[in-house]
């Protein structure tokens, strides 16, 4: 494999490992082992654990952005809203590590900011804004619609992360395309 292909493998492995263990609970040794490289080689590809985490966090946000862009292509307004909601629910149902990586990313930002490290937050906020912009235009560039859509997404994240089953009453208030129904497998 080329160095670029190895970097790609590291980012994928890091997303899975950090999704489960978070920034502080995941070792670079675990990531290297998952990829099948040595730790020294891992540090030839990335300068440190923080760089690996940020690459994984950026990838996670970019995948979410691409999901929204693809779902809303050629649509606008309510059609775009439902297409993006369906696409997001499908992604977190089929790739739960993406949801967990998102959640771990937010926790890592809060912890880093508390410690005085603002790079985590700057990187994640930039990714979040790209995601925001990707849903903002299809929703008619309406800040209220965009805020509501993103708020529903965060609510879905929390409910899924806490393990509420699809038939639980907490899902009743969501618009139909945002409900996990029977699609969510644990």
- How does 141-154 read in b/e, with b if 16+ C-beta sit within 10 Å? eeeebbeebbebbe
Q: Is the pLDDT of residue 186 over 50?
A: no
**pLDDT confidence tier of residue 175, bands split at 50, 70 and 90:** low
What is residue 123's predicted lDDT score, i.e. its pLDDT?
Answer: 93
What is residue 167's predicted lDDT score, i.e. its pLDDT?
Answer: 81
Helices 119-136 & 96-114 angle (0-180, nearest 10):
130
pLDDT tens for each residue of 143-154: 999 999 999 889
Domain-wise residue ranges, the chain: 3-171
What is residue 184's predicted lDDT score, i.e. its pLDDT?
Answer: 45
Q: Is the pLDDT of residue 180 over 50?
A: yes
Classify residue 120 as exposed, middle or buried by CB count within 10 Å of its CB (0-12, 13-18, 19+): buried
Q: What is the DSSP letter of 116?
A: T
pLDDT tens for each residue of 86-143: 899 889 888 989 999 999 999 999 999 999 999 989 999 999 999 999 999 999 999 9
Q: Is the pLDDT of residue 182 over 90?
A: no
CATH of 3-171, one of 1.10.357.10, 3.40.50.300, 3.90.1150.10, 1.20.1440.130: 1.10.357.10
What is residue 149's predicted lDDT score, i.e. its pLDDT?
Answer: 92
Share of the chain above pLDDT 90, in %: 72
- How does 161-181 read in b/e, with b if 16+ C-beta sit within 10 Å? eeebebeeeebeebeebbbbe
């Amino acid at each position: 494999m080329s160095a670029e292909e190895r970097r790609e493998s590291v980012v994928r492995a890091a997303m899975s490992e950090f999704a489960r263990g978070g920034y502080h609970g995941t070792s670079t040794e675990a990531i290297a082992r998952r990829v099948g490289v040595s730790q020294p080689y891992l540090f030839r590809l990335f300068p440190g654990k923080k760089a690996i985490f940020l690459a994984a966090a950026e990838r996670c946000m970019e995948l979410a952005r691409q999901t929204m862009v693809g779902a809303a292509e050629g649509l606008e307004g309510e059609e775009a809203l439902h297409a993006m909601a369906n696409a997001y629910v499908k992604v977190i149902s089929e790739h739960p590590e993406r949801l967990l990586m998102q959640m771990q990313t937010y926790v890592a930002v809060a912890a880093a900011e508390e410690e005085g490290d603002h790079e985590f937050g700057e990187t994640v906020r930039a990714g979040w804004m790209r995601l925001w912009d990707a849903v903002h235009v299809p929703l008619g560039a309406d800040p209220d619609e965009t805020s509501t859509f993103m708020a529903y997404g965060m609510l879905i994240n929390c409910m899924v992360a806490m393990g509420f089953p699809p038939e639980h009453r907490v899902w009743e208030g969501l618009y139909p395309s945002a409900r996990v129904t029977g699609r969510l497998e644990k």
